[in-house]
Amino acid sequence: MGDRKILMGKYEIGELLGKGTFAKVYYGRHIVSEESVAIKIINKEQVKTEEMIQQILREISIMHLVRHPNVVELKEVMATKKKIHVVMEFVRGGELFAKIARGKLKEDVARKYFQQLVSAVEFCHSRGVFHRDLKPENLLLDENADLKVSDFGLSALSEHLRNDGLLHTQCGTPAYIAPEVLKSIGYDGAKADIWSCGVVLYVLLAGFLPFHDENVSAMYRKISKAEYGFPLWISYEAKSLISKLLVVDPDKRITIPEIKKIPWFKRNLATPNAFHMEESVFGNLEEDIKPGVMRKSPSSPAFLNAFELIASGFDLSMLFELKGRSGVMFTSRCSATLIVSKIEKVAKKLKIKVVKLIDFTLKLVGRPSEGRKGQLLVTVKVNKYAPEVTVVQFTKSSGDTQEFIKFCENIRQALKDIIWEWQGNTELTSDPNINNQERVQI
């Protein structure tokens, strides 16, 4: 028992799973729930020395954005003065690469993995995230043999686009890189990801790379001209799709909506898991979750130690999802339980329905008949970012933006006694459509 390594009183650290230049990844187990996790431990001094701070923050913020069944889940981030601990979903099945190394896959198996890859990539693109390093080594398999996209270290966000609307950083793994990335004229991150998906599909079906040469320059020449051949065992339909994916001109390359219409792709397509669809209409969520009931949830939310990160020169603002979206947030020194209770009271007075989800997340549902652009749906996330600081995020999932702004102003006025600092849409303080008499007090 004396040899047990316990992190932050929450996780037992086990065997080393892998290591890189600045980080080591360990197997971990949550002490209370016994859930298995992977814990990436980053040495902050080494990161600061190598000026990798922004890359680390970008990877964390991207994983926070892309919650999808086929993407490795970020659970929480914690820190000490010397180290950052990134707690992620533990994916038991290892890399898809190891499966391919034993030989080509059957077509129905390859199709399933490609379908899941496309689903994950489509969702990432919808959140303004471009992976830029899609390859079998970065595709993991869970205990159910479902695919999980990992390693967002080279990913870019929409905000990284230059004035020409393109990305310019040349990065990725040579054999999977799109021809336009090799040039110095800029490229569309989404279209480059689609090329990489094409290479992955080829590898799954063929068992080897479409573009391979020991001489890297020769390999790049093949990529730039899309020079490759097909083995005899790949079906005509699969060849046809790959031929549409591996098109040199990115403007003529097939898009994800077009991929999803192809009969070969649609064959045995599983119904998508809807848990990640925060941006969509509320759907059938109420059928699965009883209103007013919090399902298996800890007594307080997981926290990121914001003060330690900030003290080390890390700006946490990019970890939040407010850029380019309808959302606000506030910090408070009150407990998460108290904040949730107060939000429920405000919602009740506004005649807005509250559905509690796990991990201190609420869905607030407006009355269908009132919305100018449909029913107002608001997602509220309550996170502990340090023992003494709680951060509350409000994001509009659907409905009219002005109605959302009005709702947030009501929240702001009603909770002003517990709000430490408010951040978000500047229109909240100047919108002429907000009637002061309508603000709710509790």
Q: What is the pLDDT of residues 398-442, one digit of tens each?
A: 888 888 888 888 888 888 888 877 776 534 433 443 343 333 443
Mean pLDDT of 1-6: 72
One domain, residues 291 and 402: yes
Per-residue pLDDT tens digits for 266-323: 999 986 554 444 433 333 333 333 333 333 344 555 444 444 444 444 544 444 444 4
Among residues 34, 67, 89, the one where a domain terminates is 89
Number of folded domains that form the chain: 3
One domain, residues 55 and 156: no
One domain, residues 119 and 146: yes
Domain CATH number, residue 210: 1.10.510.10
Query: Tokens for 310?
Result: 């900030």
**Of the listed ranges 37-41, 225-229, 301-305, 334-338, the one predicted with least confidence:** 301-305
Residue-number span of the structural domain to which 353 is assigned: 285-438
Quote the pLDDT of residue 351. 84
Please report whether residue 278 resides in a domain: no
Whole-angstrom Cα distance, residue 435 to residue 432?
8
Per mean pLDDT, which of 45-49, 160-164, 315-319 is the most reliable?
160-164
Quote the pLDDT of residue 405. 84
Please indicate if the annotation marks 40 as binding a ligand.
Answer: yes
One domain, residues 196 and 257: yes
One domain, residues 115 and 182: yes
Among residues 64, 89, 114, the one where a domain terminates is 89
One domain, residues 130 and 66: no
One domain, residues 400 and 368: yes
Mean pLDDT of 185-199: 95
3 state SS of 441: coil
pLDDT at 34 over 80: yes
**Of the listed ranges 234-248, 313-327, 362-376, the one predicted with least confidence:** 313-327
Taking each helix axis from N to C end, the angle separating 189-206 and 236-245, rounded to the nearest 10 degrees, works out to 150
Active site residues: 133
pLDDT at 212 over 50: yes
Quote the pLDDT of residue 77. 86
One domain, residues 229 and 358: no
Quote the pLDDT of residue 366. 82
Spatial neighbors of 316 by CB under 8 A, at least 6 apart, are 57, 304, 306, 309, 310, 385
Whole-angstrom Cα distance, residue 211 to residue 208?
9
The mean predicted confidence, pLDDT, of the chain is: 80
Whole-angstrom Cα distance, residue 139 to residue 143?
14
Of residues 74 and 430, more confidence is placed in 74
Output 214-218 pairs: Cβ under 8 A, ≥24 positions apart: 216/174
Among residues 34, 57, 89, the one where a domain terminates is 89
How is 146-161 classified by DSSP, letter by letter?
-EEE---TT-EEGGG-
Q: What percent of the chain has pLDDT over 70?
A: 78
One domain, residues 291 and 427: yes
3 state SS of 400: coil
Query: Tokens for 178?
Result: 């799109």
